[in-house]
Structure 1
């Protein structure tokens, strides 16, 4: 695995790879790698001739300095995992390399970023848009791989690629879960043993909501019942539990027949914020 920490050096290598006609896949990460990241890498390796992983904890997408400081970091373990997976190239810049000056550019994703994560984490998606744009400019991937767990983020990145005509295809890979159903996340590392036992309730909630909705249960009644009777008694404090129509990523109050939708949740467990979702594409009566 080749390792680069400057934009100039990695661009020179990308130029050589392009000169050889190689297809390039990118897996952007912030480190603290887990099997969910590895699934993205394996998908890239299957489809692309060269797989690049970027590892950069992007400070401008964090709303809280405390959250940034507490974000898990384990570089030696991450690099060992990348070598074992056969990653071709690691791009690991520091903050000064990525942002030599304070960023003044701002993205406005319109209504898509005004709900869910955008509502509770103002400025978050601007930071995501900036760092993804920089990575796409620097690394010029043919395809970039993202997990479905960050459903709203993937939706925004697809829009970014379309609006700015990036020659990159976005590949969404299904959420990887542990045996309990908990969506794998770097933030899970911060949970205590008790918190790890509680966290699968998020996915159980999504599955229960899906089952009840497809039976015709009223969403608002269902949502309030679940929050008050299932989540809060388990010391889970939700930021949101919402239905989202996928084509415009807008909130809805009931499933629309034949229209794909998602059930999305964000909640705090032991003051650690976790997100999850399930996408429902089957036809509803």
Structure 2
């Protein structure tokens, strides 16, 4: 049975006992509303760790839109049932006051890699991510932490954070989990209407088509512009970005001569979707 813990003091005692027995602890940080993407991380943690903690905390610091925070789906009972089925040892679900107690005055900021793409579109978002991840690493004392590649820029920010601050946790990036039609799994997908859900796979389809064209020698700018036009024609009402970036450092890229990633953020109805693929 998965034990629910809500305070860092209780969790610290639990983890200390595990470590005295020589156990390796893995953590999967989440904001809840769990789906198969999250559960794939829990499975990876189970395979590569002796004990597994999944954290659920809807972090107000990483939302720059109050209505988005309010709309974020929450169902702890359902999430707990899923985690129990996966054999997760602990669900750590602290309240806001536990993570950010009165007088909390520290912010962790990762410059450079956090500034383009999501950083430009969601000011302050990655400061919130970096701060809460730092807190969760300290609270859980895990030796390995598992993050999905769907949030590619976030994964790079966390890796930079851990390297820069010498935090003793190994960051494990895990493949994006997709629906059968290619849509990247996301907690926000439940907010799509039936019509929007039918349109949503076009994003991944067009990204794949653009990547194939670039690999075949088509100018990257032209391929991306064709993909943008097709995405908008399919019913999406905004393409915030659809860009090629280097795998190392997320610098702007114009071809696939070196390892690059294609990253996108789009709006479908009132739902913002992100995705990325290797090119």
TM-score (norm 1): 0.95
* 1:205 CA drift (Å): 1.3
Asked whether the 8 Å contact 2:109–2:130 carries over to 1, the reply is no
**Alignment length, in residue pairs?**
277
Pair 1:81–1:96, CA change in 2 (3 A):
same
The Cα shift of 1:105 comes to 2.5
**Secondary structure, counterpart of 1:112 in structure 2:** coil
Q: Distance in 2 between matches of 1:206 and 1:34?
A: 23
How far off is 1:103 after superposition?
A: 4.4
- Distance in 2 (CA, whole Å) between partners of 1:85 and 1:222 is 41
- Structure 1 position 235, deviation (Å): 2.2
Report deviation, 1:109. 2.1
Instruction: Give the match for residue 264 of structure 1.
Output: 263
Instruction: Show structure 2 runs of 5+ residues with no match.
Output: none
Unaligned 5+ segments in structure 1 are 281-285
Residue 187 (str. 1) matches residue 188 (str. 2)? yes
Q: CA deviation at 1:138?
A: 1.0
The separation in 1 between residues aligned to 2:161 and 2:272, in whole angstroms, is: 26
SS of the residue aligned with 2:102?
A: coil
What's the counterpart of residue 147 of structure 1? 148
Match of 1:165 in 2: 166
Q: Give a deviation string over 1:38-90, Cα, whole Å, max 9, x none.
A: 10000111111001000110010001000000001111110110111110011
Displaced runs of 4+ in structure 1, greater than 4 A? none
**8 Å CA contact 2:109, 2:131 repeated in 1:** no
**How does the TM-score come out when normalised to structure 2?**
0.97
Q: CA RMSD in A?
A: 1.1
1:276 match: 275
CA deviation profile, 1:209-231 (whole Å, cap 9, x unmatched): 11000011111122222222x11
Q: Deviations over 1:154-198 (max 9, x none)?
A: 001000000010111000110000110000000001111111111
